[in-house]
Protein backbone atom coordinates (compact mmCIF):
# COMPACT_ATOMS: atom_id res chain seq x y z
CA UNK A 1 0.00 0.00 0.00
CA UNK A 2 1.77 3.12 -1.24
CA UNK A 3 0.85 6.31 0.58
CA UNK A 4 -1.21 8.64 -1.60
CA UNK A 5 -2.72 11.08 0.92
CA UNK A 6 -0.68 14.16 1.83
CA UNK A 7 -0.60 16.22 5.02
CA UNK A 8 -2.99 18.95 3.86
CA UNK A 9 -5.38 16.31 2.51
CA UNK A 10 -5.31 14.49 5.88
CA UNK A 11 -6.10 17.72 7.72
CA UNK A 12 -9.08 18.47 5.45
CA UNK A 13 -10.40 14.90 5.80
CA UNK A 14 -10.23 14.98 9.60
CA UNK A 15 -11.77 18.46 9.68
CA UNK A 16 -14.71 17.27 7.55
CA UNK A 17 -15.18 14.24 9.81
CA UNK A 18 -15.26 16.55 12.85
CA UNK A 19 -17.85 18.79 11.18
CA UNK A 20 -20.01 15.75 10.40
CA UNK A 21 -19.73 14.57 14.02
CA UNK A 22 -20.69 18.02 15.33
CA UNK A 23 -23.70 18.18 13.01
CA UNK A 24 -24.79 14.73 14.20
CA UNK A 25 -24.38 15.37 17.92
CA UNK A 26 -26.18 18.73 17.72
CA UNK A 27 -29.12 17.04 15.91
CA UNK A 28 -28.69 19.15 12.78
CA UNK A 29 -28.61 15.94 10.73
CA UNK A 30 -30.54 12.77 11.51
CA UNK A 31 -31.98 9.67 9.93
CA UNK A 32 -30.61 8.28 6.69
CA UNK A 33 -28.53 11.37 5.99
CA UNK A 34 -26.80 11.02 9.36
CA UNK A 35 -26.00 7.36 8.67
CA UNK A 36 -24.59 8.08 5.23
CA UNK A 37 -22.53 11.06 6.42
CA UNK A 38 -21.39 9.04 9.44
CA UNK A 39 -20.04 6.30 7.19
CA UNK A 40 -18.30 8.91 5.04
CA UNK A 41 -16.83 10.52 8.17
CA UNK A 42 -15.46 7.19 9.40
CA UNK A 43 -13.98 6.50 5.95
CA UNK A 44 -12.32 9.93 5.95
CA UNK A 45 -10.69 9.28 9.32
CA UNK A 46 -9.52 5.79 8.32
CA UNK A 47 -7.99 7.01 5.06
CA UNK A 48 -6.24 9.78 7.02
CA UNK A 49 -4.81 7.33 9.54
CA UNK A 50 -3.43 5.00 6.87
CA UNK A 51 -2.45 7.77 4.42
CA UNK A 52 -4.06 5.69 1.70
CA UNK A 53 -7.22 6.38 -0.29
CA UNK A 54 -8.51 3.53 -2.49
CA UNK A 55 -10.33 6.01 -4.74
CA UNK A 56 -7.06 7.87 -5.36
CA UNK A 57 -5.37 4.56 -6.22
CA UNK A 58 -8.04 3.73 -8.81
CA UNK A 59 -7.63 7.07 -10.60
CA UNK A 60 -3.84 7.06 -10.03
CA UNK A 61 -3.89 10.30 -8.06
CA UNK A 62 -1.70 11.28 -5.12
CA UNK A 63 -1.51 14.30 -2.82
CA UNK A 64 1.41 12.82 -0.88
CA UNK A 65 4.73 14.56 -1.01
CA UNK A 66 7.29 13.02 -3.34
CA UNK A 67 10.19 11.26 -1.64
CA UNK A 68 13.60 12.83 -2.17
CA UNK A 69 16.11 10.56 -3.88
Q: What is the DSSP string of 1-68?
A: ------HHHHHHHHHHHHHHHHHHHTTSS-HHHHHHHHHHHHHHHHHHHHT--HHHHHTT---SPPPP
Which mean pLDDT values do the consecutive 10-residue runs of the chain (69 residues) have? 91 97 96 96 96 92 77
pTM of the model: 0.85
Report the pLDDT value the prediction gives residue 69, as an integer from 0 to 100: 55
> Which residues, 6 or more positions from 54, have their beta carbon under 8 angstroms from its beta carbon?
47
Amino acid sequence: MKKNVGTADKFIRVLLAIVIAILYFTDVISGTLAIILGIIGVALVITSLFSFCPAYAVIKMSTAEKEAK
